[in-house]
């Protein structure tokens, strides 16, 4: 596949943004707060140029390795993204332990896992007949996108009880991932329904570029957000805390009743 001028521009903007964000992280010592996300940025900064060089190579033999390299790099990136979500959850849960009991935190963790499993089965049921995109990568794309959105929605929905404002770094990181996830999900679902034809390659390229644009928007949003001073956490909302504890307690009680019935 020929690399267009727009692809080169998007790649350049990505490299500049990633280097700028890494610089901000190390300058503000945020790499100590978000070490996994920092590792994710470094991985993207290394892997994307390799993919571009292979794809734009003048030798057909080199280009033939692109699908295999892309698949391998994608699996590594998905694994890192999953760890980033765990890191976000850990950063949120650490101070929340003072106001929320273990049952409430376990309830939220189980909820995210169940939604993730549901997202996986949903992705496997979608018609993914795209020719250039391996089905495994498509399923991982959709699953991770849904998990990013769910993580953000839970954190945003509990922002008051967790004492998080919109200028908090954790919420800004999660909101950037959510926007990128929404664009990625739209592009992946659209790509999954492409059919072979004279316009297939061009349509596939445009949808891929749409996903890159979504990532760039999140990337420069993070640069803008993290270069500013973080707002301190607010006091926990006791009423919201009690509500969450009540939900977790009710769920635990229902599980106990079901378990007794099956003895």
pLDDT of 261 reads 44
Closest CA to 250 of 132, 104, 121, 94: 104
pLDDT digits (tens, 9 = 90+) for 192-238: 777 777 777 788 888 888 989 999 999 999 999 999 888 776 665 55
pLDDT of 128 reads 53
Does position 27 have pLDDT exceeding 90, yes or no?
A: yes
Residues in contact with 242: Cβ distance below 8 Å, sequence separation at least 6, in sequence order: none
Mean pLDDT of the chain: 78
pLDDT of 123 reads 72
pLDDT digits (tens, 9 = 90+) for 103-144: 666 777 777 778 878 877 777 776 555 444 567 777 778 888
pLDDT of 116 reads 78
Give 34's pLDDT tier (boundaries 50, 70, 90). Answer: very high
Give 95's pLDDT tier (boundaries 50, 70, 90). Answer: low
Tell which wins on pLDDT, 163 or 87.
87
- CA gap 212, 232 in Å, rounded: 32
pLDDT of 21 reads 95
Closest CA to 204 of 213, 192, 215, 214: 192
Mean pLDDT of 78-101: 77
Residue spans of the domains in the chain: they are 79-261
% of the chain residues with pLDDT over 90: 23
Q: Which of 92-96, 113-117, 214-218, 257-261 has the lowest mean pLDDT?
A: 257-261
Does position 91 have pLDDT exceeding 90, yes or no?
A: no
Does position 185 have pLDDT exceeding 70, yes or no?
A: yes
Q: Cβ distance 41 to 30 under 8 Å?
A: no
Tell which wins on pLDDT, 244 or 106.
106
Closest CA to 218 of 172, 171, 180: 180
């Amino acid at each position: 596949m020929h690399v267009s001028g727009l692809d080169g521009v998007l790649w350049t903007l990505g490299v500049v943004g990633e280097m700028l964000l890494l610089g901000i992280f190390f300058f503000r010592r945020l790499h100590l707060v978000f070490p996994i996300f920092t590792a994710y940025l470094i991985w993207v900064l290394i892997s994307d140029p390799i993919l571009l060089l292979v794809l734009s190579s003048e030798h057909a033999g080199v280009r033939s390795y692109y699908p295999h390299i892309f698949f391998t790099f994608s699996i590594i990136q998905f694994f890192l993204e999953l760890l980033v979500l765990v890191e976000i959850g850990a950063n949120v849960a650490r101070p929340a332990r003072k106001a929320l009991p273990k049952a409430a935190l376990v309830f939220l963790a189980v909820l995210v896992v169940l939604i993730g499993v549901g997202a996986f089965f949903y992705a496997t049921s979608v018609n993914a007949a795209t020719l250039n995109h391996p089905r495994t990568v498509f399923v991982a794309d959709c699953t991770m996108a849904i998990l990013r959105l769910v993580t953000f929605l839970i954190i945003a929905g509990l922002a008051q009880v967790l004492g998080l404002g919109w200028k908090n770094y954790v919420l800004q990181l999660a909101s950037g991932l959510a926007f990128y996830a929404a664009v990625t999900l739209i592009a992946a679902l659209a790509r999954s329904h492409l059919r072979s034809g004279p316009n297939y390659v061009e349509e596939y390229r445009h949808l891929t570029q749409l996903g890159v644009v979504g990532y760039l928007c999140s990337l420069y949003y993070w640069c803008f957000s993290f270069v500013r001073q973080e707002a301190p956490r607010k006091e926990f909302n006791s009423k919201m805390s009690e509500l969450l504890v009540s939900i977790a307690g009710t769920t635990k009680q229902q599980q106990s009743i079901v378990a007794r019935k099956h003895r």
